[in-house]
Amino acid sequence: MISWWRKLDTRGKALLLAIILLMICLFQPHMKLPKRVYDWLIVIDITQSMNVRDMSINDRSISRLAFSKASIRESLRALPCGSRVALGLFTERNTTTITHPLEVCTHFSAIDETVSRVDWRMAWAADSFISHGLFDGIAKTAKIDDQMNIAFITDGHQAPPGNPDYMPKFEGKAGQVKGLIVGVGGLKPSLIPKLDDKDNITGYWELDDVQRYATFGMARVQSALEMEQQQADGMHGRNAPHGSAPTEVNHANLSGQDQASLKKLANETRLNYLNLQEVNQLNDAFSSRKTSVWRMADTDLRPWFAIPAMCLIILFFIPATFLNQLFQRVIKRKRK
Digit-coded pLDDT (tens) for 126-182: 788 899 999 999 999 999 988 999 999 999 998 777 666 667 888 889 989 999 999
Neighbours of 177 (CB within 10 A): 22
Mean pLDDT of 65-79: 96
pTM score over 0.85: no
| The pLDDT of residue 178 | 96
Whether CATH 3.40.50.410 fits 30-212+253-299 = yes
| The pLDDT of residue 278 | 94
* The pLDDT of residue 41 is above 50: yes
| The pLDDT of residue 214 | 43
More confident residue, 246 or 102: 102
* The pLDDT of residue 317 is above 90: no
pLDDT in tens, 180-217: 999 999 999 999 998 888 888 898 888 776 654 444 44
Q: What is the DSSP string of 50-100?
A: GG---EEETTEEE-HHHHHHHHHHHHHHHSPTT-EEEEEEEEBTEEEE-S-
With residue 292 as reference, give the H or E element that holds it: strand 292-300
Residue ranges of domains in the chain: 2-27+301-335, 30-212+253-299, 222-251
Q: At what angle do helices 130-144 and 259-269 cross, to 10 degrees?
A: 40
Residue 248 banded pLDDT, cuts 50, 70, 90: low
* The pLDDT of residue 231 is above 70: no
Looking at the DSSP bridge assignments, the partners of residue 39 are 84
Question: In the 3-class helix/strand/coil scheme, how is 99-149 assigned residue by residue?
Answer: CCCEECCCCHHHHHHHHHHCCHHHCCCCCECHHHHHHHHHHHHHHHCCCCE
Residue 110 banded pLDDT, cuts 50, 70, 90: very high
Dihedral in degrees, nearest 10, Cα atoms 235, 236, 240, 243:
10
Q: Alpha-carbon Rg of the chain, whole angstroms?
A: 29
* The pLDDT of residue 124 is above 90: no
pLDDT in tens, 251-310: 778 889 999 999 999 999 999 999 999 999 999 999 998 999 988 777 778 888 899 888
Q: Cα-flanking dihedrals φ and ψ of residue 277, to 5°?
A: -125, -15
